[in-house]
């Protein structure tokens, strides 16, 4: 099986990697409707509806039950993941950080729904059609950002700092960065470049939150691809074909947490398995997607770059 990805490929929210952002928003919409204790994203369902993929709209709005299409564990992971990043940003801004950068913002609505301290600037970076769609759609819905929201329409495999600086980013000030649900869609060397760039642009006391996926053991990736194919087949039967196994980049790569630690970041982390348990949610079973071992990591930059 070959990847459909290539250097310079682009997408909107209904195609290629962009559809994964819409699917993440579907999970948030279902999770929000089911239980607002951990996640309350009122913009997820209207954003999915605006993308216009009929099945995803019906799932997000509750017209179609998730049974068999969106597994309970995907909904539970959406809850704990949203909570992890929400808490990260609220803690970071409570320490006085006023500059936030959300890398690969997709349909994330934090710039519209978190209670940001006055004076917080939130930069959102994603592909041009993704950024433009969300800005336009939320404006049409009458949503108002709860921070000074600025966008940079970029490809994160390229030289994105120029666009970030042009939007007003100041590398001399501490920043809270997130890269949520992004890294597996970057080639390994682009992941390293991105983390190097984040480090270079981070004044002392900056913070970062992202995911660490352990490198695969023999056979792991075949099982992951088969599991993704099974999910895609279920969607395909309902006229939506995300072909998910072909969107990621596979093979060995530097693990995020040690890579960042080597560059002066002091990180802590928790696995998805432990996070589900900590929130009293059911454990993972048959984890062919290797979700349980993903660790959400966050920390502070307190040294200079090596």
Q: Which residues bind ligand SAM (CB under 6 A)?
A: 17-18, 20-21, 24, 104-108, 126-127, 130, 155-157, 180-182, 185-186
Shortest CB 215 distance to ligand SAM, Å: 20
* In the complex, minimum distance from the CB of residue 135 to ligand SAM, in angstroms, rounded to a whole number: 14
Confirm or deny that 156 is annotated as ligand binding: yes
Q: Which CB atom, from 14 or from 203, has the smaller least distance to ligand SAM?
A: 14
Identity of the residue, 130 or 231, whose beta carbon is nearer to ligand SAM in the bound complex = 130
Q: Which is nearer to ligand SAM, 97 or 104 (CB)?
A: 104
Using CA atoms, how far apart are residues 27 and 217, in angstroms rounded to an integer?
Answer: 28
Please, are residues 299 and 268 in contact by the beta-carbon 8 Å criterion?
Answer: yes
Q: Is 276 annotated as a binding residue?
A: no
- Shortest Cβ 283–ligand SAM spacing (Å): 23
Q: Which is nearer to ligand SAM, 43 or 116 (CB)?
A: 43
The closest residue (CB) to ligand SAM is 106
Q: Could you tell me the smallest distance in angstroms from the CB atom of residue 162 to ligand SAM?
A: 14
Q: Is 224 in contact with 291 (CB distance < 8 Å)?
A: no
Q: Which of 26, 3, 27, 30 is nearest to 16 (CA)?
A: 3
Q: Is 196 annotated as a binding residue?
A: no
Nearer to ligand SAM, 50 or 107 (CB): 107
Sign of CA dihedral 61, 67, 71, 76: positive
Closest distance between ligand SAM and the C-beta of residue 242, in Å?
11
Tell me the C-alpha distance between 255 and 242, whole Å.
Answer: 27
Specify binding-site residues for S-adenosyl-L-methionine: 126, 155-156
* Binding-site residues: 126, 155-156
């Amino acid at each position: 099986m070959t990847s459909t990805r290539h250097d310079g490929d682009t997408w909107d929210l209904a195609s290629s990697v962009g559809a994964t952002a819409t699917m993440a928003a579907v999970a948030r919409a279902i999770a929000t409707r089911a239980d607002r204790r951990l996640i309350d994203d009122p913009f997820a369902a209207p954003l999915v509806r605006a993308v216009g993929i009929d099945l995803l709209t019906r799932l997000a709005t509750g017209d179609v039950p998730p049974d068999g299409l969106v597994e309970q564990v995907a909904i539970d992971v959406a809850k704990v993941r949203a909570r992890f990043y929400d808490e990260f940003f609220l803690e970071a801004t409570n320490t006085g950080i006023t500059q936030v950068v959300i890398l690969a913002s997709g349909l994330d609505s934090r710039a519209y729904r978190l209670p940001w301290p006055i004076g917080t600037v939130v930069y959102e970076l994603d592909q041009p059609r993704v950024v433009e769609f969300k800005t336009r759609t939320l404006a049409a819905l009458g949503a108002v950002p709860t921070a000074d929201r600025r966008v940079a329409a970029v490809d994160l495999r390229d030289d994105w700092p120029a666009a970030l600086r042009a939007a007003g980013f100041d590398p001399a000030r501490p920043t809270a960065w997130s890269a949520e649900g992004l890294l597996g869609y970057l080639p390994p060397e682009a992941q390293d470049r991105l983390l190097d760039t984040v480090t270079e642009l981070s004044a002392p006391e900056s913070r970062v939150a992202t995911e660490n996926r352990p490198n695969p053991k023999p056979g792991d990736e075949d099982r992951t691809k088969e599991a993704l194919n099974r999910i895609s087949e279920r969607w395909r039967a309902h006229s939506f074909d995300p072909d998910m196994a072909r969107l990621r980049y596979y093979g060995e790569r530097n693990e995020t947490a040690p890579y960042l630690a080597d560059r002066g970041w002091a990180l802590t982390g928790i696995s998805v398995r432990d996070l589900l348990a900590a929130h009293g949610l059911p454990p993972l079973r048959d984890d062919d997607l290797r979700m349980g071992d993903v660790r959400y990591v966050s920390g502070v930059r307190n040294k200079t770059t090596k």
